[in-house]
Amino acid sequence: MSNLTLLGDQSVRYPTDYCPEILETFDNKHPGNDYFVKFNCPEFTSLCPITGQPDFATIYISYVPNIKMVESKSLKLYLFSFRNHGDYHEDCINIIMKDLIKLMDPKYIEVWGKFTPRGGISIDPYANYGKAGTNWQQIAMNRLANHDLYPEKIDNR
Amino acid sequence: MSNLTLLGDQSVRYPTDYCPEILETFDNKHPGNDYFVKFNCPEFTSLCPITGQPDFATIYISYVPNIKMVESKSLKLYLFSFRNHGDYHEDCINIIMKDLIKLMDPKYIEVWGKFTPRGGISIDPYANYGKAGTNWQQIAMNRLANHDLYPEKIDNR
Amino acid sequence: MSNLTLLGDQSVRYPTDYCPEILETFDNKHPGNDYFVKFNCPEFTSLCPITGQPDFATIYISYVPNIKMVESKSLKLYLFSFRNHGDYHEDCINIIMKDLIKLMDPKYIEVWGKFTPRGGISIDPYANYGKAGTNWQQIAMNRLANHDLYPEKIDNR
Amino acid sequence: MSNLTLLGDQSVRYPTDYCPEILETFDNKHPGNDYFVKFNCPEFTSLCPITGQPDFATIYISYVPNIKMVESKSLKLYLFSFRNHGDYHEDCINIIMKDLIKLMDPKYIEVWGKFTPRGGISIDPYANYGKAGTNWQQIAMNRLANHDLYPEKIDNR
Amino acid sequence: MSNLTLLGDQSVRYPTDYCPEILETFDNKHPGNDYFVKFNCPEFTSLCPITGQPDFATIYISYVPNIKMVESKSLKLYLFSFRNHGDYHEDCINIIMKDLIKLMDPKYIEVWGKFTPRGGISIDPYANYGKAGTNWQQIAMNRLANHDLYPEKIDNR
Amino acid sequence: MSNLTLLGDQSVRYPTDYCPEILETFDNKHPGNDYFVKFNCPEFTSLCPITGQPDFATIYISYVPNIKMVESKSLKLYLFSFRNHGDYHEDCINIIMKDLIKLMDPKYIEVWGKFTPRGGISIDPYANYGKAGTNWQQIAMNRLANHDLYPEKIDNR
Amino acid sequence: MSNLTLLGDQSVRYPTDYCPEILETFDNKHPGNDYFVKFNCPEFTSLCPITGQPDFATIYISYVPNIKMVESKSLKLYLFSFRNHGDYHEDCINIIMKDLIKLMDPKYIEVWGKFTPRGGISIDPYANYGKAGTNWQQIAMNRLANHDLYPEKIDNR
Amino acid sequence: MSNLTLLGDQSVRYPTDYCPEILETFDNKHPGNDYFVKFNCPEFTSLCPITGQPDFATIYISYVPNIKMVESKSLKLYLFSFRNHGDYHEDCINIIMKDLIKLMDPKYIEVWGKFTPRGGISIDPYANYGKAGTNWQQIAMNRLANHDLYPEKIDNR
Amino acid sequence: MSNLTLLGDQSVRYPTDYCPEILETFDNKHPGNDYFVKFNCPEFTSLCPITGQPDFATIYISYVPNIKMVESKSLKLYLFSFRNHGDYHEDCINIIMKDLIKLMDPKYIEVWGKFTPRGGISIDPYANYGKAGTNWQQIAMNRLANHDLYPEKIDNR
Amino acid sequence: MSNLTLLGDQSVRYPTDYCPEILETFDNKHPGNDYFVKFNCPEFTSLCPITGQPDFATIYISYVPNIKMVESKSLKLYLFSFRNHGDYHEDCINIIMKDLIKLMDPKYIEVWGKFTPRGGISIDPYANYGKAGTNWQQIAMNRLANHDLYPEKIDNR
Ligand SMILES: [Ca+2]
Ligand SMILES: [Ca+2]
Ligand SMILES: [Ca+2]
Ligand SMILES: [Ca+2]
Ligand SMILES: [Ca+2]
Ligand SMILES: [Ca+2]
Ligand SMILES: [Ca+2]
Ligand SMILES: [Ca+2]
Ligand SMILES: [Ca+2]
Ligand SMILES: [Ca+2]
Ligand SMILES: [Ca+2]
Ligand SMILES: [Ca+2]
Ligand SMILES: [Ca+2]
Ligand SMILES: [Ca+2]
Ligand SMILES: [Ca+2]
Ligand SMILES: [Ca+2]
């Protein structure tokens, strides 16, 4: 794990804008069996590109590793880099997914953002991906087809 | 996004009756991958067409964009336009779905309304749609077939 | 909707015993797309046919309309008519389902009763039906086969 | 306990109208220390005296016994006797309290009814009483003065 | 109760603007003991006086009757009359309290509004009142002094 | 229903040890349509066969009746008969299922026990069965294959 | 702690009937400051003295130690000794409190039982005690006077 | 209300650092009766002054107005101004309280921050204030003395 | 069951480091029907291999026994052996699964760890396995493909 | 804050046994107003001094600072130092309180531990303290006298 530069390094600075290059990986030690890893990220915030007002979301990232895995402290810093960056809800979710696909080349990944309301309405984008040439390509389509049949109860309080 | 006229325009007036023409769209920037967008709308109210008494609902709208996407502030104003409009629960849900299909031509859409009770009984209509010529037509049937196997606990309090 | 006699009629009397003939219908205005309507009925009560003691349940009725739909105020009066009527839990649920099938000839219907406990045990019957000659016949079997894989937590408090 | 006629008697009939005389008592075996007994009664139902439609409530009865205590099976039958009886919410609660005071002459008693909504509004009456000549008279006033500073969240679902 | 004109009258029209004169009373049948009556009103909506956008709240009204009590159907119509009326959150709550004091001359009353958020912040005004010359004047001050020591958890979802 | 000996018989004694012969049946009155009946049994207790300490569980029994159905009061007495009987968690669940299969010859049955923890770990066995020669044999395998994909949150408090 | 005979002794047998003499104590190591110790006991069961049917409760015991404290394993065995013992709900709670007062001579103790329903009603007795000659005698009266102003929501499910 | 410059002004920019001067007031229209106004602010974020990592909190602000009241949109912008500002949890809460006292000169105010955990521990500061020369000075002391007797359950998930 | 050495043996010592050899088995007494056994283990803790700080998780283990079953007290000691052992979240879960496969040769097994957050993000790994040559190999793939479509709500509190 | 040695120092080692000397303080910057600081610590674990088995608790520490305040990272390390240390539940809570009193000399402090069950019973000790010569001495007695009138619902799951 000599390629990990962030974990255990106290002097690392937080990035000041969107910064995908801060993401780091380590090797999957269990390549013999497919398995899931989920990150629960309730501390996501970005800015509205039109009004500049802050947006807040909980983001759930779930993936099946291939050879590389994302290191969690670098993921924290990457998500932090949206803090003063302006993007729409749907774009944030798709961008996060694409950056992690590019980084890890995972077998499968999904990203679900659950934002707080503006004007009485909240928006929850969900995107997923399965690697071509694996059975996860079809699984991704199936998971999308069965996405969120039971929307959680929302009352804005 | 030059076609967006409502977001960031403070002078917009709230419509006084049912008003589908207020809906606006913007372009899907991620056409390469199907994904879901959900709107949680707990502040819906309309009038009973017979008695004139107000009805209240939380409405969940979930769709897979095609080329166009509905702009959320225009959606807010559109839903507001039912405020002094009279229609039955089932009709509200079907009308909302059909207006959004006409607006966006989405790959998939579903609308679920959860109303407050009258006379001790509450009514929750659910409608969905998949675009002909895409795999979402069959998915829509499958989602309908598997709709709400676990009804939420309701005790009217 | 000239055939609706109960909605908006203040002088209607509550029936004093089981009374399926009080049920009324109106026409489905959206026959072009299959959709679900659910009634949440937490105020159901009947009598035990042996001991005469009252039974209480929340009843969930969910159906896909065909040509006719049940009017909700008549449904309220119909369910009220079990108030002083004695029947077992399983029978109440099956009778309600069969009366509504006879009334509406729906594409699909399901009825789930969740009763309060007697002697420390509560009973929850569930019945469903899909119209022969439609794809809802097979869907009904599938829904029954997948019924309630996650029983809700019950502790009698 | 030879004065208990209902507990363990299977042949008892349910009363057909309001019936305070069915209430029975037994002797407090712990007169040396004041203590509370609470009855949770979620299966209460009566009729609206104007429209005849059924009302439903959960009733909480809490008291400090003096010499006599109410037997719980007779309490069940007494509450059942409201089933086909018409009275307003506030009256039901005050009547139940007064009947139990007359029956038991308790040191303290309180009755709280939480009804299901009609027309979007639910009503929760609360009455209490402390026996004159005991410190419970002042306690009753204090409990009333501090009643329900934290109303439970209600959304009619 | 011959002075009640709304309950059981199907032809009553919903008022089109703020309308305190629609409130009706009936006599307290239990003047011998102070007691509480609470109304849970989760279906309140008004308009923002500046932007015209709809506001939504659950309103809890709790009072100790004196000689007169507010009739619940008239209360429903009164609250409905804010639907197309513009007022700030704090004003709505104080106005409702003052109208009910004027109507009923109660011993005690409190009104708590819990609104949905705008711009990520929600506002919950609470006002109360105790009749001069009764012990409820001091109790009102005590209840205000102890108001809401445990704010409910809010996350805007 | 002349074969029911327990319901309505006050003099029945509680068995003092494991007692499957106490189970009674009645005839299914709705043999024309398959349906589910679920028993929620939160008051189950047995003894550990090694240490003699008490075990507690909530047991969920769900079945599709064939010709015979288990009478609920006899089920209560049967479950009571484990009270002073020693058996492991997994054995209790399998034995209950097998006794009910022998009694009713159901089309389908499943039994799920959720025990309280010992040494910081709790054990939840689940067994099911589908009658050979019916489509419920395959359904049983499918239900087992999809069992409990969403384990409930447990924190031992 | 040489007087503890049960903790760490695997060979101890469970008592077969009500058995207060099994209770053991150890010395309070913090006599300089009054403090509370609470036992949460959700696995209590006894028998109805009339019908022999099992009763179930969660019992909360909270006390302020004086010189002696009850050892928790002996408390477990003591509570187990009600398993095949018949007593009314109110009596169980008062007996447990009195046995622990006799054992420990505490400054303060309270015992609250929350039983599962029989016939649709559940009973929750609460008793407390403050040692004469200490300020806990008055505190006990105050705690009783303020007992359970917010009854938990009960729906028997 | 001519002194309100932010509400309804779409062109306002979000401040880039701590900015108490952005706060605005309007006049209390109900000075005749003391009442509470609570702001629920779940979207607060600041930076750790040592490590630069983001902190997140829900902040509850509750006050009794005197002559001036804080305008909610200016409060939103003020809280936003902590976004890129570094301060400890305890300091943020005290500073917010002091800024609002300076702005409004309220009769009473309290501020409670509930932060997300760092290193497995979360910190919740609470400060309050009562205006000298009013009865709210003593009430503030009483509220502090009774603060948070029932800490909410926290498990970091 | 003569091969069980830990259950009922008070003198067993807790292991001081990772110790899979402590695991013991007993024979499956119900080999005729496949069934599930789930262990809920909310008291898992290990050390971070880089920083040495403690990690905490709830671990859910669910399996379908073949010939041998894991004895629960030995499982407790095995999980305890991670207490002072350093391993990453993903590795702990995969190691536990592989140790149990090696021990029991089960038809199916899955292990899900839900850890508390570090730096605002929590990680939940999930691995599963189906025995080659049985239908559980395909079921394992299906369960993985359908894993966690509904992530639980996480807010780090 | 030059006396803080732990915050921001990555090389600090976790202590291997009970270690109160690791605690550090910083100065209270708001000595002008009394206020509360609460630490939520759900990751506490120690060992049973008799059996060596691990105990788990959530510990809530709440205090009113005087001149010095405990630094949160040092608190984390201090609580960690119980990990391989043996002490009874009541002793852990009293020791933590006394160590923090010695460290900070606070105006007020309370410590509440909520442990997971052993043998079906869980134990929750609560201790508090008010500084002599301040009004917090009396407040401490009052808070103890009013401790936990509403025990949380516990079912060991
Ligand atoms: Ca709600
Ligand atoms: Ca909510
Ligand atoms: Ca509810
Ligand atoms: Ca409800
Ligand atoms: Ca429950
Ligand atoms: Ca509700
Ligand atoms: Ca919420
Ligand atoms: Ca739990
Ligand atoms: Ca319940
Ligand atoms: Ca319940
Ligand atoms: Ca939590
Ligand atoms: Ca949590
Ligand atoms: Ca949470
Ligand atoms: Ca939350
Ligand atoms: Ca629990
Ligand atoms: Ca629990």
Question: Per residue in D89-141, pLDDT tens?
Answer: 999 999 999 999 999 999 999 999 999 999 999 999 999 999 999 999 999 99
Q: Which are the catalytic amino acids of C?
A: 48, 55
Distances in Å between the Cα of A7 and the Cα atoms of A15, A16, H52 are: 16, 19, 16
pLDDT bin (cut points 50, 70, 90) of residue C40 is very high
Q: Measuring CA to CA, which residue among A12, B120, J62 is closest to residue H149?
A: J62
- What's the pLDDT band for H1 if we cut at 50, 70, 90? very low
The Cα–Cα gap between A96 and B35 comes to: 14
Phi/psi for F51 (5° steps) reads -100, -15
Q: Specify the amino acid at residue G18.
A: Y
* Residue of G72, G77, G145, G137 whose CA lies nearest to G108: G137
CB contact under 8 A, E8 and C10: yes
Is residue H156 left, alpha or beta, with left meaning phi > 0 and alpha meaning psi from -120 to 50? left
Q: What is the percent of chain H where pLDDT is above 90?
A: 84
- pLDDT, position J14: 82
Q: Which of H27, H34, H41, H48 is catalytic?
A: H48
The interface predicted TM-score of the complex, written ipTM, equals 0.94
CA distances for G117 relative to D3, D14, F43, angstroms: 23, 19, 11
Residues of E in contact with B45 (CB under 8 A): 43, 45, 54
Residue I56 forms contact with J (CB below 8 Å): yes
- CA–CA dist C27, F83 (Å, integer): 56
Q: Which residue, among E72, D116, D153, has the nearest Cα to C45 in the 3D structure? A: D116
Task: Return the minimum-mean-pLDDT range out of B31-35, E14-18, H74-78, H124-128.
Answer: E14-18
Give φ, ψ of A30 to 5 degrees. -130, 55
Mean pLDDT, range H104-119, rounded to an integer:
97
Whether residue D124 lies in the annotated active site:
no
Work out the percent of chain A whose per-residue pLDDT is above 90: 85
Q: In chain B, which residue's Cα lies nearest the Cα of H10?
A: B10
Ligand 11 centroid distance, CA of H155 (Å): 5
Q: What's the pLDDT score for residue H3?
A: 59
Q: Is residue F73 over pLDDT 90? A: yes
Q: Is the pLDDT of residue B3 over 90?
A: no
The pLDDT value recorded for residue F13 is 72
CB C55 within 8 A of CB C116: yes
Average pLDDT over residues E131-141: 98
| Confidence band of F10 (pLDDT split at 50, 70, 90) | low
Q: Which of C25, C128, C110 is nearest to C67 (CA)?
A: C25
Instruction: Enter the DSSP assignment of B151.
Output: P
Residues 6+ apart with CB under 8 A from B122: B114, B115, B116, B154, B156, C39, C40, D156, D157
Residues of chain D contacting residue F8, judged by C-beta atoms under 8 Å apart: 10
Structural tokens at position E157: 């979802």
pLDDT tens figures, H27-68:
999 999 999 999 999 999 999 998 889 999 999 999 999 999
Q: Which CATH number fits domain E20-145: 2.50.20.10, 3.40.50.12160, 3.30.1130.10, 3.90.1570.10?
A: 3.30.1130.10
Given a contact cutoff of 8 angstroms between Cβ atoms, the answer to whether D42 and G154 are in contact is: yes
Helix (H, G, I), strand (E, B) or coil at G15: coil
F140 — pLDDT class (breaks 50, 70, 90): very high
DSSP state of J2: T
Report whether pLDDT(B147) > 90: yes
Q: Where are the domains of chain H?
A: 20-145
Alpha helix segments (H runs only) across I4-134: 72-80, 89-104
Reduced to 3 states (helix: H, G, I; strand: E, B; else coil), residue J14 is: coil
CB E67 within 8 A of CB E25: no
| Residue J122: half-sphere exposure toward Cβ, Cα within 13 Å | 27
Percentage with pLDDT > 70 across chain J: 92
Buried b (16+ CB within 10 A) or exposed e, A94-120: bbbbbbbeebbebbbbbbbbbbbbbbb
> Chain-wide mean pLDDT for chain E?
93
Q: In chain C, which residues have their Cβ closer than 8 Å to the Cβ of E9?
A: 10
d(CA C46, CA H139): 53
**How does residue I14 score in pLDDT terms, banded at 50, 70 and 90?**
confident
pLDDT in tens, J4-28: 666 556 566 788 789 999 999 999 9
From CA H144, how far away is CA H129, in angstroms rounded?
9
pLDDT (average), residues C115-121: 96
Chains I and H touch (3+ CB pairs under 8 A): yes
Contact E70, E23 (CB under 8 A): yes
**Alpha-carbon separation of residue G56 from C157, F43, G48, J12 (angstroms):** 11, 7, 10, 51
Token representation of residue E6? 């709304």
- Return phi, psi of residue A31, to 5°: -70, -10
Cβ-based neighbour number of residue J69 at 10 Å: 21
Total H helices, total E strands in chain G: 3, 6
In 3D, which of F124, F128, F141 has the Cα closest to residue I136?
F141
What's the pLDDT tens digit per position in A109-157? 999 999 999 999 999 999 999 999 999 999 999 999 999 999 999 999 9
SS3 content of chain B, % helix, strand, coil (to 5): 25, 30, 45
In angstroms, the CA H132 to CA H121 distance is 36
Q: How far apart are CA F79 and CA F93, in angstroms?
A: 11
Q: Tell me how far CA of residue J94 lies from CA of D24, H108, J129, in angstroms.
A: 50, 35, 10
Mean pLDDT of chain G: 93
Both tokens of residue H98? 């002091």
HSE-up of G18 (CA within 13 Å, CB side)? 10
What is the number of other CB atoms lying within 10 angstroms of the CB of residue I75? 23
Q: Is residue F24 predicted with pLDDT exceeding 80? A: yes
Q: Region A80-95: what's the mean pLDDT? A: 94
F114 → chain J, closest CA residue: J157
Structure tokens given for C129: 């039906």
- Using the predicted structure, report yes or no on whether residue C2 has a pLDDT greater than 60: no
Q: Is pLDDT of C60 > 50?
A: yes
Report pLDDT for I1.
44
Asked if residue I150 has pLDDT above 60, the reply is yes
Q: Which amino acid is at D8?
A: G
pLDDT above 50 for A1: no
Q: Name the percent of chain D lying above pLDDT 90.
A: 83
**pLDDT tens digits, F76-127:** 999 999 999 889 999 999 999 999 999 999 999 999 999 999 999 999 999 9
Does the beta-carbon distance from E8 to C8 stay under 8 Å?
A: no
Cα dist from J60 to A134, G28, H101, I44, J93, whole Å: 49, 22, 30, 20, 10
- Domain covering I20-133 assigned CATH 2.70.98.60 in the classification: no
- How much is the CA Rg of chain J, to the nearest whole Å? 16
Residue of G10, G12, G14 to mutate, testing the I interface (most I Cβ within 10 Å of its Cβ): G10
Name residues whose C-beta falls within 8 Å of residue C14's C-beta, 6 or more positions apart in sequence: C77, C80, D52, D53, D54
d(CA A114, CA A134): 29
Task: Give the neighbours of chain G: at least 3 Cβ pairs within 8 Å.
Answer: C, D, F, I, J
Cα of A91 vs centre of ligand 13, distance in Å, is: 27
Q: How far is B124 from H68, CA to CA, in rounded Å?
A: 45
Q: CA C130, C133, C134, C138 torsion: positive or negative?
A: positive
Mean pLDDT of chain B: 93
Half-sphere exposure of A3 (CA within 13 A, CB side): 10
I2-23 burial: b if 16+ Cβ within 10 Å, else e: eeeebbeeeebebbeebeeebb
Q: How many CB atoms lie within 10 A of CB D48?
A: 17
Closest CA to D147 of E139, E29, G142: E139
Angle at G96 between CA G95 and CA G99, to 5 degrees: 80
> Does residue E148 surpass a pLDDT of 80?
yes
Cα–Cα distance, J149 to J145 (Å, whole number): 10
Taking CB atoms and an 8 Å limit, are H36 and E121 in contact across chains? no
Pick from D53, D93, D99, D91: nearest CA to D75: D99
A48 is catalytic: yes
pLDDT over threshold 60, residue G1:
no
The residue with greater pLDDT, B4 or E17, is: E17
Which neighbouring-strand residues pair with B27? Answer: B68
Q: In angstroms, rounded to a whole number, what is the distance separating the alpha carbons of residues G142 and I1?
A: 56
Q: Subunits with at least 3 CB pairs below 8 A relative to chain I? A: A, F, G, H, J
J115/G85: higher pLDDT: J115
Instruction: Give kind and range of the element (H or E) at residue E92.
Output: helix E89-104
**How confident is the model over H115-132, as a mean pLDDT?**
97
Give the pLDDT of residue A8: 59
Residues E34/D137, Cβ–Cβ less than 8 Å: no
For every residue of A57-115, DSSP letters joined together read EEEEEEEE-SSEEE-HHHHHHHHHTTTT-B--HHHHHHHHHHHHHHHH--SEEEEEEEE
Q: What letter represents residue D143's amino acid?
A: R
Q: What pLDDT does J7 receive? A: 59
Tell me: the pLDDT tens digits for G35-69? 999 999 999 999 999 888 999 999 999 999 999 99
Any chain C CB within 8 A of the CB of G53? yes
Mean pLDDT of G102-122: 97
